[in-house]
């Protein structure tokens, strides 16, 4: 009840206390109030996020100047169906055991040390992030169970024995997960949403291949540095882990050779990624490619229709994702984003765009202390900040990739920054103080890497 009253107060404050620019119609301003209240609902969670967004969509059709056809238009957007199809492919990866096989193969190869195990699990998440848009599904469903098994293999449990290896793996692997979320178009569910807003609002097309090329260099640098920093800050008591490699080897032997389902999923996985990379050659839309992969899984029987309809996380994302996508586009059409850019742009006077970009990125990054969702963070701050900076002459590609990637990296700051963080923290291996300390230090390293090596790499490949 208190959360609901707070959201109502938020809407009323926008409607009656914040001055409406003359360029924005009253219906557009009411739509802004509904949108901000919806973002607040994703943060406060008075009811599930999907339900909040669905209510916002209905209210937008009544008070926000949208027809019901327009308000529901987001559910027919190809980006929404791309995310859905990727979820179905990820379900097949987990169901057949192929994802677990990939993780065990990495540990068998480089798992002779505790740092190697951390890199192996992070590399597993990186491979899966190329096609699974849910960091919760891939880390919670694949990486975390293996991480816990390796920790217990060495007698490392929450409490007195956590420092043997478990606390290091929990923090090191989690920081890697935040990096992989920034590296790929499908690294996190809100990344395609950022790409969609980039195209719709700023006329800058972002493809899977472009994001892959942009993220691979700074991402690999962060993947190497982040676990090493955690290792230096809080070194595990057990440094050599030959048993982990032996455990992975025995598990792979127990699994036996790849069965029919795993072989089919492997072929589809490689084919879909290959078609995404070569989109500039064949011009097949990436959503069509992903849907073809899902159809192939259904035709071969690897996935059943019951598997599809029981994928609750996918359908939940379908509701809130499509609704927020349309609300964001409608705000842009109503001129709200342009009005914000014009108002904020005057605060920096004649400072050009470099100083405002630096200030905005720092504010944007550390604002994630107030967010429990990458999506809520990105929706609340990405469009207005990008609009301000692009209006001041900042290169669109630099602005878009900076804000899209930094929202994911910022999730490493806290134990509630994105879906996997409470999943990892709840195991009880790491104290609140240690989690936040590691998050703050690794965040500084990620900021340094992505704003130097990342910016230079983006300049080299022509993003700006």
The candidate with the shortest Cα–Cα distance to 139, out of 462, 413, 425, 335, is 425
Q: State pLDDT tens for residues 328-379.
A: 888 878 888 777 766 766 666 666 789 889 988 998 999 888 777 888 888 8
Q: What is the DSSP letter of 300?
A: T
**What phi, psi does 240 have (nearest 5°)?**
-95, 130
Q: Minimum mean pLDDT among 221-230, 271-280, 332-341: which range?
A: 332-341
Cα-Cα-Cα-Cα torsion 280, 398, 365, 16, nearest 10 degrees, comes to -100
CA dist 278 → 185, 193, 272, 273 (Å):
15, 21, 10, 9
Burial of 342 (0-12, 13-18, 19+ CB in 10 A): middle
Report the pLDDT value the prediction gives residue 129, as an integer from 0 to 100. Answer: 92
Rounded to whole angstroms, the Cα distance separating 304 from 300 reads: 9
Instruction: Give DSSP secondary structure letters for 191-256.
Output: HHHHHHHHHHHH-----HHHHHHHHHHHHHHHHHHHHHHHHHHS--S--B-HHHHHHHHHHHHHH-
More confident residue, 40 or 299: 299
More confident residue, 325 or 157: 157
CB atoms within 10 A of CB 16: 9
Average pLDDT over the chain reads 90
Kindly state the tokens that stand for 446.
Answer: 């990620």
Rounded to whole angstroms, the Cα distance separating 434 from 336 reads: 41
Q: State pLDDT tens for residues 40-70.
A: 887 787 888 889 999 999 999 999 989 999 9
The predicted model scores a pTM of 0.83
Percent over 90 (pLDDT), the chain? 56
CA dist 101 → 36, 70, 270, 448 (Å):
43, 45, 15, 34
Kindly state the tokens that stand for 243.
Answer: 């048993």
Contacts of residue 321, Cβ cutoff 8 Å, sequence gap at least 6: 74, 80, 83, 189, 193
Rounded to whole angstroms, the Cα distance separating 395 from 428 reads: 44
Q: pLDDT class for 108, splitting at 50, 70, 90?
A: very high
More confident residue, 444 or 193: 444
Rounded to whole angstroms, the Cα distance separating 294 from 274 reads: 15
Q: What is the DSSP letter of 302?
A: S
The candidate with the shortest Cα–Cα distance to 208, out of 122, 297, 272, is 272
Q: pLDDT class for 186, splitting at 50, 70, 90?
A: very high
């Amino acid at each position: 009840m208190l959360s609901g009253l707070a959201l109502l107060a938020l809407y009323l404050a926008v409607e009656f206390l914040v001055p409406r620019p003359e360029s924005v119609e009253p219906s557009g301003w009411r739509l802004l109030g509904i949108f901000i209240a919806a973002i607040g609902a994703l943060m406060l969670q008075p009811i599930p996020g999907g339900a909040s967004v669905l209510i916002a969509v209905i209210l937008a059709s009544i008070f926000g100047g949208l027809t019901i056809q327009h308000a529901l238009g987001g559910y027919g957007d190809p980006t929404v169906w791309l995310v859905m199809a990727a979820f179905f492919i990820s379900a097949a990866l987990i169901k057949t055991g192929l994802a677990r096989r990939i993780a065990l193969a990495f540990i068998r190869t480089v798992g002779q040390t505790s740092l190697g195990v951390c890199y192996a699990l992070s590399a597993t998440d990186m491979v899966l992030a190329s096609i699974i848009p849910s960091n919760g599904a891939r880390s919670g469903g694949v990486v975390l169970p293996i991480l816990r098994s390796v920790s217990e293999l060495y007698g490392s449990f929450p409490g007195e024995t956590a420092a043997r290896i478990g606390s290091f793996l929990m923090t090191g692997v989690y920081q890697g997960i935040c990096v992989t979320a920034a590296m790929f178009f499908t690294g996190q569910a809100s990344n395609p949403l950022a790409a969609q807003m980039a195209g719709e609002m700023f006329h800058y097309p972002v493809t899977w291949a472009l994001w892959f090329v942009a993220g691979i260099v700074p991402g690999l640098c962060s993947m190497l540095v982040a676990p090493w920093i955690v290792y230096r800050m809080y070194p595990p008591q057990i440094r050599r882990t030959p048993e982990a490699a032996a455990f992975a080897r025995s598990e792979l032997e127990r699994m036996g050779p790849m069965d029919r389902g795993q072989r089919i999923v492997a072929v589809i996985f490689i084919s879909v990624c290959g078609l995404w990379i070569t989109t500039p050659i064949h011009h097949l839309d990436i959503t069509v490619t992903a849907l073809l992969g899902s159809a192939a899984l259904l035709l071969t029987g690897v996935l059943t229709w019951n598997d599809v309809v029981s994928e609750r996380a996918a359908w939940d994302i379908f509701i809130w994702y499509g609704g927020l996508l349309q609300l964001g586009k409608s705000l842009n059409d109503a001129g709200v984003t342009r009005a914000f850019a014009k108002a904020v742009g005057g605060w920096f006077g004649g400072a050009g765009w470099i100083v405002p970009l630096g200030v905005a990125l720092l504010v944007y990054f550390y604002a994630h202390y107030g967010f429990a969702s990458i999506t809520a963070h990105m929706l609340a701050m990405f469009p207005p900040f990008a609009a301000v900076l692009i209006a001041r002459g900042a290169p669109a590609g630099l602005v878009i990739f900076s804000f899209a990637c930094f929202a994911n990296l910022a999730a490493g700051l806290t134990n509630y920054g994105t879906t996997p963080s409470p999943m990892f923290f709840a195991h009880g291996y790491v104290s609140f103080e240690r989690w936040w300390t590691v998050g703050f230090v690794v965040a500084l390293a990620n900021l340094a890497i992505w704003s130097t090596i990342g910016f230079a790499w983006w300049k080299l490949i022509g993003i700006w």
